[in-house]
Amino acid sequence: MKNQEQSGKTLRISVTGNPNVGKSTLFNALVTGNARVSNFPGITAESLVGKDRWGDIDVEVTDLPGCYGLQLDLPESRHCQQHLGAPQKSDLIVSVIDAVSLRRNMNLLAECMQKGTPNAVIVTRTDEARLRGVEIDFQRLEEMLQVPVLELAHRHAHRNAGLKEFILAAAERPVSPQDTVLDSKWVDDTVAAVTRPVRPEEARKRREKEDRLDRFLLHPFWGLTTFFIIMSLLFGCVFWLAQIPMEWLDNTFALIADWVSTSMPEGEVRSLVVEGIIGGVSGTLIFLPQVLLLFFLISILEETGYLARAALVADRWLRPFGLPGHSFVPLLSSHACAIPGILCTRLIPDRKDRLAAILVAPFLSCAARLPVYQLLVGLLFPENPFIAGLAFAGCYLLGALAAVFSAWIVRRFLLPGPSPDLVLELPPFQRPSLVDSLKIACQRGWIFLKNAGTVILLMCIVLWWLGTYPKSTESSAVADLRAKAEAVESVEEAEALVEEADSLASRESTAASYLGRIGKSVEPVFAPIGADWQLSISIMASFAAREVFVSSTSVLLGTGEEAEAEPLMDKIRNSRRDDGSPLLTPSSAAGLLVFFVLAMQCLPTLAVTRKESGAWKWAILQLTWMSLLAWGMAAAMRMLILLLGWE
């Protein structure tokens, strides 16, 4: 390290290992980063690079994607081989080994040790290995490998293990020449020499207990039933538990808007701040508790090891539709955002399977849809949270069914051919870390907040301007209402007339604006799914980003001080169309809900689809198919609701 300091070069560290061995946890510990940690292979599709400074030393840590060997014909193996084969990219290779699966992990280590670069070994989950009846002699392991070895017994052991000091010492240690051939026989001999059995009876009982649980969770019927029950409970909890903090936020923003309205002088600036910025951005931010709770609960399931079992269960019913189990992780990731989900498809070995997964990934309900679901489901079932929770879960199920159906069409008619079998390692069941799950939820929440502070804020300002100009004069109907308000003696009657006049004036002003003209021109397209010209504007705006629908609707319905002091849900529930009918009837809310479940409304996702598929034709196909399917299903749903008499 002295040489590193004197030359001023950066110490380049490459972290490698099998999937799910703790590489991302180690990466976060080395660079104080926030790489996502998960319990199934495929979550890291690319290298993560983090830079830090340890005292006087600059370090650059590269977290390579998990792989089982450098010579395998897989994207992650080729990526690791290319990176480790370039000497200028690594001053030290840190191989992370899972003590529970020591033999399999040693194969990759043997390949890394032949690169001619200094190596260090970190053995994780040794506590779990002991519970399974295996103990490792670390002194003997270091002697046989001739490289430094560090034990991390559990996920938080790095806090007191002197990790950075170990890395710096390993970087100074010269490469020891290997006198033996590092082949499969060497791996077997090494594992046999450094391991010994401990507490065999306890280990046997533990394995039997886990095997019984796996037989239930992987059962063709009970496993699938359990998966749907767990997902329904998860989304039901998200809907129920998030209600209270959402109401707090909604009322808080209403009070802020009321305070700003009374504090600032009347004019365009106040209108921009109250109706454009506060009214628009708050329409999305009130759903932050739901986003945080959703990702917190999903992370809990990931850390227990359950979702890896769900991947095997999913393989049984995905494969007949042209989606092998390899696509489970990308599709699951798409529930957070379709963009990382599409990037994760790089780990699908078959190109046809990969293209099919790319095309259908946006059907899976992402975090951006949550505010829309919450709004429309809340309007449909305001007094029945249990039914609302089931409807909320039904949105996710509808998206999944649409993805499966679309994948079947793609693989049968556009990309025919068989899919390779799924091979997946099941991680052990473990107690989840609430702290780690909370960190993941906060990361996702921060991304949500950044979107609200950038894209959504910009869209709200643009929509406010388009909805404010050109200015129009009040009609005679408005003037008559104001005159009646001045003539009546009852204060309550006068206030009601003034409120009616303000509401009518706002609708007339918006209708005469640029936004109103745009909405009226596209209204015939969206009328069959239950949208008038106001909602048509919000739908058009949401094609840039889905969550903009709620904010743009809030901006469009901004009608002055009293309206801004009204909670968002009540404001939308009480809003009217030009003919006096409710803005969102049950039939129109149901139609719009189906539309937002299925429609492609994310321009960045289309750009990523084009990049990952290699041609614009796939992105255009994705946009066209999803839009047509969404419109058709939404119109059918609205017609069904009307036929049932639930107008």
Report the distance separating Cα 389 and Cα 377, nearest Å.
9
In this structure, are strands 57-63 and 92-98 parallel, antiparallel, or unpaired? Answer: unpaired
Cα 152 from Cα 95, distance rounded (Å):
13
Q: Please, which residues have CB within 8 angstroms of residue 275's CB and are 6 or more apart in sequence?
A: 464, 555, 558, 564
In a domain, 393, yes or no: no
Report if residue 474 sits inside a domain.
Answer: no
pLDDT at 358 over 80: yes
Is pLDDT at 314 greater than 50 in this prediction? yes
pTM of the predicted model over 0.75: no
pLDDT tier at 351, thresholds 50, 70, 90: confident
In a domain, 620, yes or no: no
In a domain? residue 302? no
Residues 242-246: what's their mean pLDDT?
80
For 467-475, what is the mean pLDDT? 79
Q: With 80 as the cut, is the pLDDT of residue 45 above it? A: no
Q: Are strands 48-54 and 92-98 parallel, antiparallel or unpaired?
A: unpaired
Query: Facing residues of 625 across strands?
Result: none
Does residue 619 form part of some domain?
A: no
647 three-state secondary structure: coil
Domain membership flag for residue 159: yes
Mean pLDDT of 301-319: 79
174 burial type by CB count under 10 A (0-12 exposed, 13-18 middle, 19+ buried): exposed
Q: Which residue has the higher pLDDT, 121 or 247?
A: 121
- Give how many domains the chain has, as a whole number: 1
| 565-583 confidence digits (pLDDT tens) | 445 677 777 777 877 788 8
Write out pLDDT tens, residues 390-432: 888 889 889 989 999 999 999 989 988 877 776 666 777 878 8
Structure tokens at 268: 């365009």
**645's torsion region: left (phi>0), alpha (psi -120 to 50) or beta?**
left
Q: Which amino acid is at 202?
A: E
pLDDT (tens digit, 9 = 90+) per residue, 480-509? 888 888 888 788 888 888 877 877 777 777
- Any idea what the CATH number is for the domain that residue 128 is in? 3.40.50.300
Mean pLDDT, all residues of the chain:
80
Of 267, 259, 261, 253, residue with least CA distance to 468 = 267
For residue 141, being part of any structural domain is answered with yes
pLDDT of residue 15: 92
User: For residue 325, which amino acid is it?
Assistant: G
Residue 74 above 70 pLDDT? yes
First to last CA, the chain: 74
- 5-35: burial string, b at 16+ Cβ within 10 Å, e else: eeeeeebbbbbbbbbbbbbbbbbbbbbebbb
Most confidently modeled range among 285-299, 434-448, 604-618: 604-618
Between 514-526 and 491-512, two packed helices, what is the crossing angle to 10 degrees?
80
Indicate the SS3 state at residue 264: coil
Higher pLDDT, 185 or 2: 185
State the residue range of the domain holding 51: 2-198
pLDDT band at 284 (very low <50, low <70, confident <90, very high): low
pLDDT given at position 255: 84
Structural domain includes residue 353: no
Across the range 248-258, mean pLDDT stands at: 82
* Per-residue pLDDT band at 36 (split at 50, 70, 90): very low
Determine the Cα–Cα distance for residues 83 and 87; give it in Å rounded to an integer: 8
Percent with pLDDT over 70 in the chain: 85
Q: What is the rounded average pLDDT of the residues 32-41?
A: 46
Record the tokens describing residue 567, joined without a space: 């909670």
